Every structure is written in C-alpha cells, then in structure tokens.
C-alpha cells in the first residue's frame, strides 16, 4: 500500500510539474532523434536548476522526449511520447517516470486524463517568460556556447500585460531551438548540446493503474 501511494504521489508531481505536462517557454518545435540540449534555468521564484531535454527515439510518427530536471527534487527522469509539440497537452500520448533507482512507471493518456480530473486544484508554474504576445524582430546575432558558435535569430516577445522576453533561436538546437531566453529575473540559457542521446526509459515498465477512489 505504501508503495502504491508513493507511485501515485510521484506521478501527480510529474503531471503537475509545470503549467502543462511539459516545462513552458517560448520556442519552436523541431525534434531530431539523438539530439539533446542542456540548460541552466531560473524560474520566476528565483529557483535555479539544470534542465536537459533529449529526443531519444521515434515510434511511428511520434517521438519519445526525455526530460531531466534538478529543479524538482522528487523527480528523476520523465519521458513523453508525443504526437506533436509536447507543450500542448493533447499531444502527450504517454508518460514514463523514473525516480532514482526506482522502477520505470508508465502512465497512459487515459490515466493522465483521470489524474487531472481527480485533482481539485492543479499546481502550476508560471514558466520562463511569456509564451504569447507581439513579436519584434532584431538583427541576427551569434552566441557562443562553450566551443560552439550559434547563428541566432533574435526576437523580443511582448506579452499583452507588457512582460517581455529576449530570445535567441537556432533551429538546429533540438527540440525547441532555444539558445538563450531572458525575461526579467527568469532565464533559460543553453549550456551544451549534442547528438548522442540514448533512451533511458524504454525498458520494461510498470503500468500505473488507478482504482476507484484514487
């Protein structure tokens, strides 16, 4: 019983780790299998952490994207099978979770929907900067990250409430194209990127089954 309760709490923490199933920030979506990007992230509450996003496999026309974040202490790795941009809830087909040395837990889309409906209130994150608004294009700039130099499209995003985000984008940085995003005290800055991502959650998994009353 204790193990079951832990798995449910752990799963709820993943589903509610951001305002959607997935971390939120302005981006493009260009998944390429094997590519990964690692960021230093600072959220609106001043929390700092490392966010690594990896495109690890393709299943038919869908992609498995794995996310590892040091911002949420209870979360090890989350894997998302998606039919499109994972920041849209409807595109998330399945989630897999692993915390430390624990088992891999699999949550189907049906179970995800049941979990969301059973929550009286869903904890949300404000994300990193505004996601929508008026876009102002600036001249392209080169940004050096480690030993690599990226030729970036630079834009200013101005939200309806006047909040702004300064964003540097290069479509070769998969899957979201972000090289740097700064919005007030919030930021998402690329540390490194590579092309050798391997799946860590596509082994045997234990399905999470919700019983009546869960």
The burial of 135, by beta-carbon neighbours within 10 Å (0-12 exposed, 13-18 middle, 19 or more buried), is given as exposed
Of 30-39, 100-109, 132-141, least confident by mean pLDDT is 100-109
> Mean pLDDT over all residues of the chain?
83
In the sheet that 48-59 helps form, which strands lie side by side, from edge to edge? 134-145, 148-158, 164-169, 178-183, 186-194, 36-42, 48-59, 62-69, 77-82, 92-98, 105-108, 206-207
97 vs 32, more confident: 32
What pLDDT score was predicted for residue 64?
Answer: 97
- The whole-model pTM stands at 0.84
Share of the chain above pLDDT 90, in %: 51
What pLDDT score was predicted for residue 201?
Answer: 92
In this structure, is the dihedral angle defined by the CA atoms of residues 94, 69, 208 and 59, taken in order, positive or negative? positive
What pLDDT score was predicted for residue 185?
Answer: 92
Residue 10 has pLDDT above 60, yes or no: no
Residue 6 has pLDDT above 80, yes or no: no
| pLDDT tens-digit map of 52-73 | 999 999 999 999 999 988 765 5
Contacts of 61 (CB under 8 A, 6+ apart): 83
| pLDDT tens-digit map of 83-92 | 999 988 889 9
What pLDDT score was predicted for residue 204?
Answer: 87
Task: Say which residue the tokens 């979360």 belong to.
Answer: 75
Give mean pLDDT, residues 137-156. 96
Q: Structural domain boundaries of the chain?
A: 2-126+196-207, 134-194
Residue 75 has pLDDT above 60, yes or no: no
Residue 197 has pLDDT above 90, yes or no: yes
What pLDDT score was predicted for residue 7?
Answer: 44
Residue 151 has pLDDT above 50, yes or no: yes
What pLDDT score was predicted for residue 1?
Answer: 37
The listed range with the strongest mean pLDDT (44-58, 125-139, 159-173) is 159-173
DSSP secondary structure of 19-63 = SSSS--BS------TT-EEEEEEE-TT--EEEEEEEEEEEETTEE
What pLDDT score was predicted for residue 5?
Answer: 37
């Amino acid at each position: 019983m204790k193990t079951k309760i832990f798995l449910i709490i752990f799963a709820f923490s993943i589903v509610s780790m951001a305002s959607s199933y997935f971390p939120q920030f302005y981006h493009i979506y260009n998944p390429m299998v094997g590519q990964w990007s690692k960021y230093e992230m600072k959220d609106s509450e001043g929390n700092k952490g490392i966010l690594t996003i990896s495109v690890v496999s393709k299943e038919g026309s869908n992609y498995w994207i794995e996310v590892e974040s040091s911002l949420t202490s209870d979360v090890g790795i989350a894997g998302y099978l998606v039919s499109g941009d994972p920041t849209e809830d409807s595109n998330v087909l399945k989630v897999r979770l692993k915390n430390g040395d624990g088992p891999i837990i699999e949550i189907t889309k049906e179970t995800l929907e049941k979990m969301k409906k059973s929550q009286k209130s869903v904890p949300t994150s404000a994300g990193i900067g505004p996601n929508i608004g008026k876009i102002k294009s600036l001249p392209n700039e080169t940004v050096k990250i480690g030993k690599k130099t990226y030729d970036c499209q630079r834009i200013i995003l101005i939200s309806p409430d006047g909040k702004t985000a300064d964003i540097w984008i290069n479509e070769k940085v998969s899957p979201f194209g972000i090289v740097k995003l700064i919005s007030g005290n919030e930021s998402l800055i690329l540390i490194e990127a590579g092309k050798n991502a391997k799946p860590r959650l596509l082994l045997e998994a234990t399905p999470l089954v919700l019983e009546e009353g869960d």
